[in-house]
Structures are given as structure tokens and as C-alpha cells.
Chains A and B, each alone.
Chain A
Amino acid sequence: MDAPLLDARPARPPADATPRERALLLLAEAGALLHASLDPEATLSSVAQLVVPALADWCAIDLADDPPRRVAVAHVDPEKVRFAEEVRRRWPDDPDAPHGVHHVLSTGETEWMGEIPEALLVASARDPEHLEVIRALGLRSYICVPLVARERVLGALSLVNAESGRLFTAGDVALAEDLARRAALAIDNARLFTEAEAARALAEQNADRVRLALDAGRFGPWEWDVAAGRVWWSPAIEAMHGIPEGSFDGTFEGYARDIHPEDRDRLFAGIESLLREGTHHFVRYRIVRPDGQTRWLEAHGRLYRDAAGRPVKLIGVCGDVTEKLLAEKEARRLERERCASHAYALRAEIAEALTTRGDLATVMTRCVEALTSRLGLVAAALWVAEPEGYALIAQAGAPIDGAFARLPFDAGPFRGILDPDGPLVSEGAGDPRLEGRPLPAGASWLGGLRLGHGDQRAGVLGLFAERPLSEDLVGVLSLAAEAIVQSIDRLRAKATLAAYAQELARSNAELQQFAYVASHDLQEPLRMVASYTQLLARRYRGRLDADADDFIAFAVDGVTRMQTLINDLLAYSRVGTRAREPVEVETERVVADVLANLRTELERTGTRTHVGRLPRVRGDAGQLGQLFQNLVANAVKFRGEAPPEVHIDAEPGDGEWTFVVRDNGIGIAPEFHERVFIIFQRLHTRDESPGNGIGLAICKKIVERHGGRIWIESGPGTGAAFHFTLPATAQ
């Protein structure tokens, strides 16, 4: 509501004014009111106030809404207005009544009753109370005129005289109609204005949107009047070029001036081509602004031609896309980074999978599992090269058809996919290269990576996916493939090594068993040969002839040597077959026992022994005794001219002890340092020194069985020092 207007009570016409003068004054006032506001309802209310009491006791205005709506009621007494409204509320107008507002609104005809007949009041009344109320209102005379504008009934103006006793004249009716016409026009105008306003607001909103869109993309419109050679730039474009608004000179040269030299030829060639035969214009180019800044602009346009097809006008928009390009570049960089981090994660995951403990199949299964989950594959599989082709050893995801179990070296379905220089993306389910091997359920794309470099064939990695993998990812995979190849090589080498080690252990055990069985079983018949040749010698020496004695002597000698050999062989093989679990051994005590065993021999040869502090070690006490006994006996056996001396010492090392058995004997030339440890290798003739050269071989075997090493430091005439290591006890 517009309060000031409402309160502006019109001036009263002078008491002596003629009816004609009063009417003119009323219309003038009403017209002023009606044009003063664009709010029709507020205005109509003011008009109603203006009419009462000058023209009528009552005035009401209804608008032809559905249902009709009373927008203004006026009476000199506000109490009466409220009362009338109450009456109307209780007894609403009958829309089908042959008189009244509804009737006027529907017919568009004026109703005029100079004097309301009693019969009409009775007919209109709904009930006796209503009739009484109507009578109480004292309604005398009545006019109802339609508000018509542009042939449409917009509402109705009702005038009623009651208390004043005045009766409406034909002049009043004309005045009312005049007033109604003006009011209708005002309402129509206001409505048109409101609609226009709304349309304008909508247009403005749209314009705003366009402007926002242009601003957002930093776009501004431009025009090139080709015929006139004039260029128009919107202020936005001037801003893009970094020049003050309105300063663009409007020439093509002015436009061309800022274009980056490197982009100029390309741009102008495009424009020429456009003028010659094109319609749509799209260019992206750089400008160098007066302040030296380089910006990227993007122009879109449409070329209009005249009827003869001559270019007339190129109209378009132009935007600064520098930030957009930067953003795009950044987005690409981020995407690359995301890809890289994805790649990194993938490689890390594969690397982790490859460190799984287990055999080739276990490790590769983990690997393809990682690929399947990380890349969201339907399935992944890995084949390794075997002599006849590739064999499937690992798969993950959806089950892979059995036909994929083996692949020929050209890799069958992967043929062509396996580019020698890297991976290739394939066609998919319909690919004839699949050769009847159905893809796993859900997969429509097959990718493969050949594992191995150049001619090396390590394996094939197969990927089954719903849709092709990005080339970036495939690139990443080829990096991962490197690690997979290394892992395959390593695991296969490990497996081969393990197989060799197992085979070696088996053949060693077999050999040992053979040596034992051979030497043991040979002993019996040999004992017989020996016994009977000895019996021959015992009973018949000197009783046959000299030849017989010689022959018997040779036979006895040979058989005795053979017995020794077999015994030695048995002893040597027993180092391996008769081994006991290692325990903690006091080597000092072992050595003391050994020296006690050898006492007779040591005394006989005048050998002096010196034993240092010896440690506890882990080992087989019996074998260690044999070791020391062989070394001490060896030292005594190969004594020189001087009285033999044997030193036994030990020094701690890293988790082991190094023992030394040193003598002052004849020593061993360096070239024989290795040979002395070989079974049945003798450095001396049988005459010089007895024995089969088994002692040191047994020593070496014992030391090695204990996880140690044995070596000699010696030269001829300088004595010999036998060093060997034994593992220290846990503490």
C-alpha cells in the first residue's frame, strides 16, 4: 500500500459548484489519482474514497478475477464498511443472480436502478434476517458499471445511495461510466506495466546471465564490418588488450598490432580462409599487451554474407583464456601427477607383491592379484616361458578359460598385442587373434605385455578388462614389467639352484652310502683273501721254493694295502654317515684325550706338546677328537731332524674360533697345500712314509661338516701350521 497516496484526501468541491463542475472536478481528481500510481488496487481504493460522498453514499470496486474480488469499499462511516463486509461474508453474492456485480462482470453492461423497488430487495434476500439487514441499510438507488479496457471486462464499479436519499440520475450513470473507463485503463496500464516489468526483469536477468557468462569466461563481444573495414570492440575486449575503455581505434591494423608475432601468420591465414569460404570462426592466439604481458585470447564468431555471398560482417565474442589455459595446463599436470602417483602406487604394490616369500607361482599370483585390484581389471594372468611355449602360472580375478593354459611363443591371442618395444592395446572380444579362447566373463578388452628384453622370453602378462586401459597406465605397466621379469629370473634361478642343491645333496648322500656299503661289504671277502694268503705264508714259507715265497709275500702285501685302503675309505665315508648332532664341546678336554691316546707314540718320538687355552665349540666330540688326533699324528709323522714340537692354540674370531696345530717338521711346499687334503693323495713315497693320505682328507671333511675351513701355512723345512675354524658356542 502506498500510504501517502491513501492519506491524500481530495479537496472538497465548493458548496456552490454546479453538478457539472463537481463531476469535472471529480474526474480530474480521479484521473490524477489513477495515473499517479502503478499499483491498481491501492489506486482503486483511493478512487472509491474520492467518489464517497461526492457521487454516492457507498462505493465498491470488484475485479473480475475468478472468483470476483472486492478490492475497495468506501462509506463515510468506517463502521458501516465493516458492517457491510460482515453482511457480505454471511450472505455472499449469488453469482447467478440477474442483478449485481456478478451479472455486470459477466455481461459487461451497466445496471442502473434510480429507485430500488421493494420487490427486488425481497427477491434478493436469502432469508428474513438478510432482508431485515438490507432494509436496515436503507438502500435507495444503485448503479453498477463495468471496468472495460481493450474490450475486456476487468471489474465493476458499484455506487449505492442510502442515507442521503439521493437517487442516481442518467448524468450520474454517465459520470460513473466515465470514471469506470478511466479506472479500467489505469488497471490495464498497471497490468501491462507489471508484465513489461516482469519481462524486462527476465530479459535483464538473461542479460545478466549472458554478461556473467561472458565475464566468467572473460569474453566480450566484437564486430568486424568487413565491407567498411571497421572493427568494434566491447570495453571488455579493450580491457583484455590492456588499453583504456574507448581507446581502440577501430581499425583492423589496430587489432593486428597486438597479435603475437608467432601467431600472426597462422591467424591471418585462418581469417583469409574464413572470408573466402567459411562461416564459423574460431581462433586461439596470443597477444602482447602494451604493458608487455602475453595473454591467450580465444575468439568465436560467425561471418554474415550478402546475397551475392560477399562477406559483410563478422560478429563474435572474444575472451581471455590465459587463466583457463593455465588451469587446463595445471589440470593436465595434476592429472599427470595423479597418474604418476597412481603409477607409483602400482609399482610399489607390484614391488611389494614381488617380495612375497614363496615360489614363482605364489609370488606371481600375488603380483597379478595386485594388478587386478589396483587397475580394476576383470582378470589378470601371467605366463612364463618354458621350452615349448608359455605356461600359465598365475591368475587373479575372474576365472580364465582353460584354453589360455598354454600359449605358443608367438603368444597366440596376444600376437601383435605384444609389440617388441612395449605394450599395445588390442581390439577385444571380437578379435580374431583370440583363436577360440573366450575372454573371461565381463571382459571385452585384452591387453598384453611381453616380459623380457630383446630375444629373451621371460613370460607374458595378460590383462582382461571391461574397457581399454589408458596408454599411460599401460606405460606404467611396462615399467612394472621390468621388475616382474627380474623377479621371474631371480625366482627361476633360485628354484634351479634349490633343485641343484637338492640333487647334489642326494647324490652326495648316495655316494657316501655307496662308499660305506662298498668298503663294508668288500671287507668280508678281502678278510678271507688276506687271512688265507697269510695262512699260506705262515704254514708254507720256506717249504716251497723261493718263487713261491715271493709270490706269497706280494699277495700278502697287496691284500694288506687293500685292507688299509678300504678301512680308510670306510673311515672317510663314516665322517658323513656316522655324524652326531652338534653339542657343546670342550676342545681342551678333547685335545687332552687325544694326547693321552697318542702318549706312546709321542714318548717314542720325543715329541713335546704345548697346548694353549682352548675354547668350547659346537660340534661332534668324536669327530673333533679324530681331527686333532690326525693333525697331531701327522705332525709327529712328518717330523724333521730336530726333536718334534707341537703347539695347539686357538684365537677367537667373528662367531668362530681359529685353531692352529703347528709343528717344526719337514713342512709342505706351497704347491701341495691343496693336494694334501685330497683323499688318497700322497706327497711321499711309501718307503718315506707309510699311510694312504687319508688323514688330512678326513680332517678337511670333519672341519667342513662343522661349517669351518682348513688351510695350511707352511714351506719346506719351516714346519707346518694347520689352521682351521670351528663355530663358537652361542654365547
Chain B
Amino acid sequence: MTEHAIEILLVEDNPADVRLTIEALKEGKMKNRLSVARDGLDALAFLRREGAYADAPRPDLVLLDLNLPRMDGRELLAIIKRDEALRRIPVVVLTTSKAEEDILRTYDLHANCYVTKPVDLDQFIEVVKSIDDFWLAVVKLPRE
């Protein structure tokens, strides 16, 4: 599709999960560049290009875990979706929680989709690849 890499922001505090997501994305077809924020505040600074992130790229997709230190995923989601400059960036909630409550709440906060991390690695890789495919290849997103 495009020759330049897709920008993905992964908001995840667990390094093992970060690495696993990186590994899973490696197996995808899409060329991508992954940035990682370790908590909600970090992610918000990245998105708003504040401080050390002044030169940060605008992500094409945000992969958001819900349980984060300092500012959790739900809070960050609410801020993103209230922010006119950021609201159009698709946010995929990627979490281990299967709780109905979390699902309902994140959709109410206008998450673009909610995905439960599969326990099985193969399935996880499949899920990450399909997110990649769906949001970055299939879906038509508004131009910036």
C-alpha cells in the first residue's frame, strides 16, 4: 500500500507484552514502526508531542492496554476521544480482561474496537496481524 512505514503507538507497561506485540507485528505483512508508551501520561505526551516527544510521529493506530500505572487506559481513552486533534486516531483496546463491564465502558468512551489478548501465542499473533491488516489496510481512514 504505502512505501513509508505505518506508525503504531503501543501503550503497555509490561515489557514482556511489549516484546510479544513487537514479535507478533514482525510476522505481519505491513511495514510498521512501533513506538511504546509505558503509561497514560507518557502516551498523552507522545500524542501531543510534548517534552521529549516534540518530534514524535502522529500514530496511525493506538494499541491500548487498560490497566496502566499513573493514568490508566480508560482515562487516556477518554482524553483522546475528547481531543479534536486526536479523536480520529483509531484506538484498539488490547487487554487480557474479558469483563463485560470493561468492554461496555471502553465502547462508551468511543474506543474503535475491543480485543481480548488470546492466551495462546499463535492466536495472539493472528489477532495482532489481523488488527494490523484491518485498520491499516482494509479500513479507509480520514486523511490527516
A residues apposed to B, CB below 8 Å:
523-524, 527-528, 530-532, 534-535, 538, 563, 567
Contacts and interface: CB of A to CB of B under 8 A. Distances in A.
A530 B23 CA distance: 15
B122 A563 contact: no
B44 to A, nearest CB: 25
Contacts of B1: none
B120 to A, nearest CB: 7
B124 interface: yes
A538 B96 CA distance: 22
A531 B96 contact: no
Interface of B: 14, 16-17, 20, 23, 96, 117, 119-122, 124
Nearest to B124: A531
Contacts of A531: 16, 20, 121, 124
A534 B120 contact: yes
Contacts of B17: 528
A698 B96 CA distance: 23
The 6 closest A-B pairs by CB, nearest first: A534-B121, A531-B121, A528-B16, A531-B20, A527-B119, A563-B119
Nearest to A525: B16
A524 B20 CA distance: 13
A408 B24 CA distance: 78
Nearest to B100: A578
Contacts of A534: 120-122
A51 to B, nearest CB: 143
Given A530-B119, A534-B120, A535-B23, 17 more contacts: A523-B119, A524-B14, A524-B96, A527-B96, A527-B119, A528-B14, A528-B16, A528-B17, A528-B20, A531-B20, A532-B16, A532-B20, A534-B121, A534-B122, A535-B20, A535-B121, A567-B119
B122 A523 contact: no
Contacts of A527: 96, 117, 119
A534 B27 CA distance: 14
Contacts of A535: 20, 23, 121
Contacts of A524: 14, 96
A567 B120 CA distance: 13
A178 B50 CA distance: 167
6 contacts: A524-B96, A527-B117, A531-B20, A532-B16, A534-B120, A567-B119
A194 B53 CA distance: 149
B21 to A, nearest CB: 10
A530 B120 contact: yes
Nearest to B67: A524
Contacts of A563: 119
A527 B120 CA distance: 8
Contacts of B122: 534, 538
B103 to A, nearest CB: 15
A531 B96 CA distance: 13
Most chain B CB within a 10 A radius of its CB, from A523, A524, A531, A535: A531
A528 B119 CA distance: 9
A620 to B, nearest CB: 15
Contacts of A532: 16, 20
A523 B96 contact: yes
Contacts of B119: 523, 527, 530, 563, 567
A542 to B, nearest CB: 17
Contacts of A538: 121-122
A563 B123 CA distance: 15
Contact of B121 (A523, A530, A567): A530
Contacts of B14: 524, 528
A271 B14 CA distance: 121
A535 B16 CA distance: 12
Contacts of A530: 119-121
A531 B17 CA distance: 9
A567 B119 CA distance: 10
Contacts of A567: 119
A523 B67 CA distance: 15
Contacts of A528: 14, 16-17, 20
Contacts of B124: 531
A538 B23 CA distance: 11
A603 B96 CA distance: 32
A532 B20 CA distance: 8
Contacts of B23: 535
B121 to A, nearest CB: 4
A528 B117 CA distance: 12
A524 B12 CA distance: 13
B27 to A, nearest CB: 9
Contacts of B20: 528, 531-532, 535
Nearest to A566: B119
A531 B119 CA distance: 7
Contacts of B117: 527
A536 to B, nearest CB: 10
A301 B82 CA distance: 125
A527 B20 CA distance: 11
B132 to A, nearest CB: 18
B12 to A, nearest CB: 12
B94 to A, nearest CB: 13
Contacts of A523: 96, 119
A552 B122 CA distance: 15
Nearest to A526: B119
A535 B20 CA distance: 9
A161 B120 CA distance: 169
Nearest to B27: A538
A625 to B, nearest CB: 16
A218 B32 CA distance: 134
Nearest to B122: A534
Contacts of B120: 530, 534
